[in-house]
Amino acid sequence: MMTTAETHRHHGGASGTVWMAGLFLGIAVTVLGALLVAHPFAAARTLAILIGVGLVLAGIMDMAATTRAGEDASALFGVLLVIGGIVALAWPGVTLWTLALIVGICLLVAGAVRVAMAGYAHGHGRPWGWGLFIGLLAMGIGILALVWPSATVFILAVIFGIELIVHGVAQITRALAVRRESRA
């Protein structure tokens, strides 16, 4: 007779659900980023919806990743991304300036928190390079959106799309690592 832990390990259990959910979210964010890059001339309303969905998905991924790592306090930047996404979804007809402001602030704050987390991880001997890269990328895009709010839909879509692709690929990588760990 198998114990509950052995049953979970044998059938995948909670860890199977965790890596599959992470993989799904990573693929969804990557596809969303690719859509933004492939269709940069979409109307501002469509862009607002895509960016809103992208921010919500990225925020959910970050909250799940930080909770899984036992760093509940650092889930704040995931919450900020979700809030920014909800704002963009609630007002899809906003002007490009307002959209750039929302995206810029969310990415700047989330990127700064991610850079701080990378520094913390580095100080404690944990992997930190990828988190630093994603944080700096998000901060750079956030600053660009804030200092150049009159940028065309094309520029904002392509830049944010690239950021989502990088974020999605990172999530896919994390999900596959969780899968490997659960099989070990």
Q: What is the pLDDT of residues 42-56, one digit of tens each?
A: 656 677 787 888 888
Per-residue pLDDT of 118-174, as tens digits, reads 898 888 888 888 889 988 988 988 888 888 776 655 677 787 888 889 889 988 998
Determine phi and psi for 148, rounding to 5 degrees. Answer: -130, 60
* Mean pLDDT for the chain overall: 79
Position 181 pLDDT exceeds 80 = yes
Q: How far is C-alpha 70 from the chain's CA centre?
A: 18
The pLDDT score that the predictor gives to residue 69 is 63
CATH architecture classification, 12-183: Alpha Horseshoe (1.25)
Tokens coding 28: 């969804």
Is residue 98 predicted with pLDDT exceeding 70? Answer: yes
Q: What is the pLDDT of residue 115?
A: 92
Q: Where does 124-152 have alpha helices with state H?
A: 129-147
pLDDT, position 44 = 63
Give backbone dihedrals phi and psi of 66, rounded to 5 degrees, phi first.
-75, -35
Amino acid making up residue 161: G
72, pLDDT greater than 80: no
What residues contact residue 94 under an 8 Å CB cut-off, 6+ apart? 44, 48, 88, 102
> What per-residue confidence (pLDDT) applies to 9?
45
Question: What mean pLDDT comes out for the span 90-102?
Answer: 72
What pLDDT, on a 0 to 100 scale, did the predictor assign at position 27?
92
For the chain, give percent helix, strand, coil, nearest 5: 85, 0, 15
